Every structure is written in C-alpha cells, then in structure tokens.
Amino acid sequence: MNADTVTLAVGTFRSSKQAENAVNDLRRGGFRDDQIAVVSQEEDSLTGEVLAVLVGLGLSHPEAGFYQDACDAGRTLVVVEAENRYRAAQLVLERNGSCDPYSDGEGGPEDAGPLLVGMPLPLKPGRN
C-alpha cells in the first residue's frame, strides 16, 4: 500500500439519526462493521481523545482538531477505514449529511499552505 494513500474517511453529523443512516448505507455498500466506528458524547468516553486517536491513525493535527471540536460540540462522528475505497466511503458520508473540514463552511482547520523543507532559494538581485 502507498503511504500517501488516504484510507480514513471521517464525517461529522448534527444528529445521531444521520450518522445511523450513514452507517447503514456503508454496510449496504460493502463496508464491514470492523471498518466503521461511531463516536458520540452520548455513548463514548473516547470523545475527549478524538484528536489523539485520529492523529495516530494518520490525520493531520488541524483535521483531527476539527473533528475533536465537532465532537465536543455534540456532533456524532463516523470513522471509516476505507482501505482502497476512500472516495466511495466519503460519498456515502456526504450523501447522508456529513461535514468535513473542507466542505463544512463552519471554519475548518486553518490552511498553513505548503510545508517547505530545505534551504530557501536566494533572492534575485533587487528583490527583498
């Protein structure tokens, strides 16, 4: 598997009913129960650890922070280990009303721009 391949699809839902519908659609779409996790304040003590768990699973700190904030605000998270079916899982989540950091419109993570590594290029004469 390519290390750059996105395999974790996450959606936030305003209601547990939306999340339940998404889970049912994921199952109908061939995703197994061991690939799907639901996190909500009503049922889990894990909600305070969402940030650490999602970073550990490979999400960036800003993305995981978005999901931690959503969980803290009472939203239900559905997390799917989609393997090579990421886009299919994401479409199911979106079709059922999920929000993610890039489509939510409610202030997702700040984009710090590209991360540059190495020595900076010298400025051309006359440029500061």
pLDDT tens digits for range 105-118: 444 444 443 333 34
* Gyration radius from the chain CA atoms: 17
Q: What is the pLDDT of residues 36-92, one digit of tens each?
A: 999 988 776 666 788 888 988 888 889 899 999 998 888 999 999 998 999 999 999
Instruction: Say if 128 falls within a structural domain.
Output: no
Domain contains 32? yes
For residue 120, is it within any domain?
Answer: no
Dihedral of alpha carbons 46, 19, 43, 74, sign: positive
Q: How many domains does the chain have?
A: 1
